[in-house]
Structure 1
Amino acid sequence: MIRKLRMLLLPLVLALPAVAPAQAAPGDLPGGKSNFVVSTGYLTGASPHNWVRLGWYRFDAGSGTVSARTYYWNQRHPARRISSGTTPGTDCAPGEKARPPGVRRCPVMTVDGFRDDATERRKGAYRLGSERIDGEQAPTVRIEWATDTPWTETWRVRPGSGIARLEFVRSTEATSGQGYGSNAPFTERRAMDTVRRHKPRIHLDLDSWEHGKAQPPTTGGFGQGNFTVCGGRATYCMTYLQPPKAENCGQGCGQAAGDTTIQYYLTRVGVHDRRDTYWHWCTCLAPADPSVCYRGNSHVKPMLQVIDDSRTFRGWVGVEASFSTAGERDDDMLGVFRMTDWPKPRAEKRPARRQVPNAEKF
């Protein structure tokens, strides 16, 4: 059974029309932004009650309403791993042709449903306000979804340059959340060569559930510069073979030594929207033949790109939806995370989080 790694390192078209900024005063929108990518999850209970969601929130200042389109994965109906539709070429996945063997040329996996249109749609009303959070008065947005049972969310709003961040405060449904918004249309996305060349440090914040319970929050970084971009001019995927490290995979593979490299793949899923998917697994879990791909409990992480007002790539929000292939719900791996270049203000107070050195441990 695979052990979860905190590493640094995730086509059908989603019918989301381009959206111009709402014609209203910026103060009528959270942080002055209308279009948000958001991940949420319930990561606390005994299995099989946990779930994750990933999608888009659109705020309309004129009507004071918000609409959402989200993907939903849960332990009651565990989803299988499927191909994302991308198999990297030998330029970035040489496998057995490299000496020593490099990234294996495998179909990049994601979670079932992510290649399709988001199936959840809901509407609600929102209200901007403020409340005392971590000892200071902070701007907030409260959402009341028009659902059969009461469903509310409260987020702290942190305005930034060309972007706004939503920090999870509370919800009647979720225990964790991440969100970023701008006035760029949801159809805007950046190619992988742009992602790899992104200079600002990308920060990781992760809340996760595994081994039958919620795990301590994790922080770290993501080293996009370590990846190799695939496909020449059509830069829609990239890969990385993490070098051997004794602490990486020995325990997860039931061995103290051997191949401790990790196979990383990141590819687009949506051609005309923000969907990417992240896939990784310990090399030692697959047969020694460097042409063989792993088909067990690998990590599948659907993500949405964060794009600011100037159409610049700023990172991702995402979820992990890795369900046990053996049907053991306590072996499911679920998570809610952000990997973005958003700087952490000194005054920002966060719960104590377990530190990881870089994206290679996510």
Structure 2
Amino acid sequence: MRRLGGRTSPAVLAAFALFAALLVSAAPAQAAPARPGGKANWVVSVGGLNTAAANNYRNWVRLGYYVFAGDGTVTTTHWNWAQRDQPTRVDAVTADCGGNVPECTVRTVDGFAGNPTGGYQGTFRYADDGRLVVTWTKDTAGKALTRPLTEYWNLETGLASGGAARITSPSYYGAYGRDVEIPATGEFSDYTATFGVGYGSNASLGRDSRATMKQLVTDPRYNAQPYRGAYVTTTASSADPDTRVGIVERQGTGGMWSFGDTANPWKVCSSGSCMGWLQPNTSCNSVDKDRVRYIAEIGGGRRNTEEYWCQSLAQGKPCYKYNSHPRPMLQVIDDSGRFQGWVGVEAFTHVKTSTGLPDSEWISGYWGVFDMVSANLKPKLPA
């Protein structure tokens, strides 16, 4: 190499710079990861659920949409609730369904009727073991988070004849009962999220894709099959106030009943925006073991809301105003536009029956995530 005064010639430096630039430009661009299961639009339920010994009743739940783009980015908009905020039940629609269904107001969790209350922007990739890795780096406005939040999802594809896919946290499915493995930090997330479930397709997330209450009761595609799944919830270990502690339990959702049962079908309310059912012979701890159940349409998008309570709690009155189970839900719709069930959350704040106001009785709350879906989605139910 010819040097001038002990230095490399400017012409030679320029040539090297050009050569390096050509090498960079010639390198193949790294391909963006494929959308999970080939699906862009997802309904997802996530919860930070743990024993009281681990988090002192600081549970939270989040329900919303994940949208995966072709360039490796992902966004979420969601509704979220925290146990220590003690969110309340609010009126949604009147269930004037007729028959033996009590005419009461269907309630949901405060905030669910309005716009999403949060969201993130981020990226996705796949780990060497095939897990879907989602990393949230910004809020909905594009402002960088204090630190990234990462989730590691198990991915299942080919459900509903290829029309849907599912993501779950590592120990979401399993046996019913208290033998629930709570993931350590890093197994499902590097923050406080411990359980989650979601379903994706390429159907629109808009209201136009949502099945109506009348369809669920009368359409033979939907009304004859049971919708079932898993429900991971925080609860009390017993009814004994002297010994009970806050635990995490796995239960089942739905059951072998169907919306259009010929002997005791769900009944659509006159507005068409809700339906109700008096479920006989349930586990309500009373001589009167019937359970009152409602499902209602709410807001836009894929939103529904469920509320249920033991009829005996109303003590002879038509409606129960206090500690019902409110469950915001989002419909699962496959690529063909067919309804396949729900994902949802429960945000149960205990209130005093004398005032109807939250009483900070943390151990009596239920905070959980669940799916309640058709057999086409193959929920992993215990034998």
Answer yes or no: same fold by TM over 0.5. Answer: yes
The CA RMSD measured in Å over matched residues stands at 2.3
* SS of residue matched to 1:339: strand
Q: 1:316 to 1:301 in 2, by over 3 A?
A: same
Say whether 1:65 aligns with 2:100. no
Say whether 1:190 aligns with 2:211. yes
Out of 235, 244, 266, the residue aligned to residue 228 of structure 1 is 266
| Alignment match, 2:323 | 297
In structure 2, give the amino acid aligned to 1:286: A
Out of 250, 261, 284, the residue aligned to residue 248 of structure 1 is 284
Say whether 1:167 aligns with 2:168. yes
* SS of residue matched to 1:249: coil
Larger Rg: 2
Q: How far has the Cα of 1:104 moved from its partner?
A: 1.0
In the aligned structure 1, how far is the partner of 2:149 from the partner of 2:268?
A: 43
Native 8 Å contact 2:296 2:304 kept in 1: yes
In the aligned structure 2, how far is the partner of 1:26 from the partner of 1:190?
A: 34
| Alignment match, 1:87 | 94
Q: How far has the Cα of 1:68 moved from its partner?
A: 0.5
Q: 1:343 to 1:230 in 2, by over 3 A?
A: closer
Native 8 Å contact 2:253 2:371 kept in 1: no
Q: 1:221 to 1:286 in 2, by over 3 A?
A: closer
Q: 1:171 to 1:38 in 2, by over 3 A?
A: same
In the aligned structure 2, how far is the partner of 1:205 from the partner of 1:26?
A: 33
| Alignment match, 2:197 | 178
In the aligned structure 2, how far is the partner of 1:27 from the partner of 1:74?
A: 33
Q: How far has the Cα of 1:340 moved from its partner?
A: 0.8
Say whether 1:273 aligns with 2:281. no
Q: How far has the Cα of 1:149 moved from its partner?
A: 2.6
List structure 1 runs of 4+ shifted beyond 6 angstroms.
none
Taking structure 2 as the reference length, what is the TM-score of the superposition?
0.72
Q: How far has the Cα of 1:216 moved from its partner?
A: 2.8
In structure 1, give the amino acid aligned to 2:79: Y
Out of 109, 132, 146, the residue aligned to residue 141 of structure 1 is 132
In structure 2, give the amino acid aligned to 1:144: T
In the aligned structure 2, how far is the partner of 1:220 from the partner of 1:300?
A: 14
Native 8 Å contact 2:269 2:276 kept in 1: no
Native 8 Å contact 1:43 1:214 kept in 2: no
Taking structure 1 as the reference length, what is the TM-score of the superposition?
0.76
In the aligned structure 2, how far is the partner of 1:143 from the partner of 1:297?
A: 36
Percent of aligned pairs sharing the same letter: 35
Native 8 Å contact 1:43 1:209 kept in 2: yes
* SS of residue matched to 2:147: coil
Native 8 Å contact 2:253 2:372 kept in 1: no
Structure of higher RCO (CA pairs closer than 8 Å, 6+ residues apart): 1
Q: 1:110 to 1:221 in 2, by over 3 A?
A: closer
Out of 43, 56, 60, the residue aligned to residue 37 of structure 1 is 43
Native 8 Å contact 1:202 1:221 kept in 2: yes
Q: 1:240 to 1:36 in 2, by over 3 A?
A: same
| Alignment match, 2:371 | 338
| Alignment match, 1:17 | none
Native 8 Å contact 1:191 1:236 kept in 2: yes
In the aligned structure 2, how far is the partner of 1:322 from the partner of 1:220?
A: 16
Q: Gaps (5+ residues) in structure 1?
A: 1-24, 95-101, 132-138, 251-256, 356-362
In structure 2, give the amino acid aligned to 1:50: N
Q: How far has the Cα of 1:105 moved from its partner?
A: 0.5
* SS of residue matched to 1:37: strand
Out of 48, 59, 65, the residue aligned to residue 56 of structure 1 is 65
Aligned length, in residue pairs: 296
1:311-326 equivalence runs, <5 A? 311-326=337-352
In the aligned structure 2, how far is the partner of 1:220 from the partner of 1:121?
A: 27
Q: How far has the Cα of 1:168 moved from its partner?
A: 1.4
Q: How far has the Cα of 1:121 moved from its partner?
A: 1.6
